[in-house]
Structure 1
């Protein structure tokens, strides 16, 4: 049904969504923006973000990470990046890892990485917008946005302000997470953002003696859970001490893994 001016309700909704969009830097050309979300903290969302960027970089794709987890950034540490606030006439410049992954995080801009970010939601949301509008990202095939957990100001800002092409949902095997994960999925659907699928982190521990999987949190139910929601399982990441050690040492690009092959295939299909 149209109003007196001939516009339908869905037209108004589309116009409102477009009004929230923030234009990128004129020097930025990103083909696909992928949000990495979780319903709660502590499930390894940043690990999945980092490994996704590494996986696509190894496929020969240019990758970037926007660290939108402003109050709990961990991406710079994973990739061994310290303070880096370089800029030129084109804008703020992201740091570039040894493997060529571009990264922007608030921790790189602060004098002390342990200083707390005691800001209200609108200010934090404004920083995320600036990471899109004021940073010269250059040419990027895949930009991964590491978002804070939950469905608050920052995820909403990212969904409304950036041209997000899809989200990756991160979960753990614990049963409670199911309900919380669905909140993140439902938020994306409300914002008309495609859900690419689910990655299960801490899925199992490989026995160091026999190599068989040990299900520390109980046997995984992610396959039936994802099927019930009509989603793909994009990967199952094991609990691997080597992963943690390399991330702590800033060597995320040195991690050897093949647990995200379905994720990389899915992302390749977007181009």
Structure 2
């Protein structure tokens, strides 16, 4: 039996292995560590038996306990729906004014409306409801069809220029290219722009005032502040839906663009529409 070699510096026995004069000290792992390692192996085997763990071709082993994270999630969802049911029933039987006046219902409606908004409304109005070119900002005070709770509910429920809903909002701005010549159109555009900005030519704006009174005031009002009952926008608040500047106004006057909003009543139901109404109204711009 070969004689054991003891390292002169550390006094520890070596394993007998040597590489280019370098010997390996025989320092085995502590017993407690080794036993812990064996325990983790046993734990892993037990876990693989008890829970779904081993992947198969189209599925995985189901485990002795039959646990399913998907089933657990479904149970949580079912419990949440039961908890929400009482609030849903109350919202279904109350008006939007009553919902808004009840602090608990209002909080629930805003939360539900925010979720419905992200799924159904954000693609057009943006995740923050700030809108974009051709899509209204729902955070400001500019409301084409009225910004109180009833008006917002009607707009969401029946949409705007949505052909399949008989109660949808309908308004059409005439194409003034058939009524006004180009010079007159530039004059009225300069006047409208002058209501909130400096016109390119004050003389054009002055001439355009009478053209506005003769052709536009019937819908937009003598003060150009619009009429919600007609869906006519306020032209004196520096908020522009279809584009800014005199050239953009000229294009809109000559050949108007008309947006379309779906009617959500049939798609989402009365309760979701009420929640959306309270949420949109809560953004700050609602009256």
TM-score relative to the length of structure 1? 0.19
Tell me the TM-score normalised to structure 2 length.
0.18
Between the two structures, name the one with larger relative contact order (CA 8 Å, sep ≥ 6).
1
Larger radius of gyration: 2
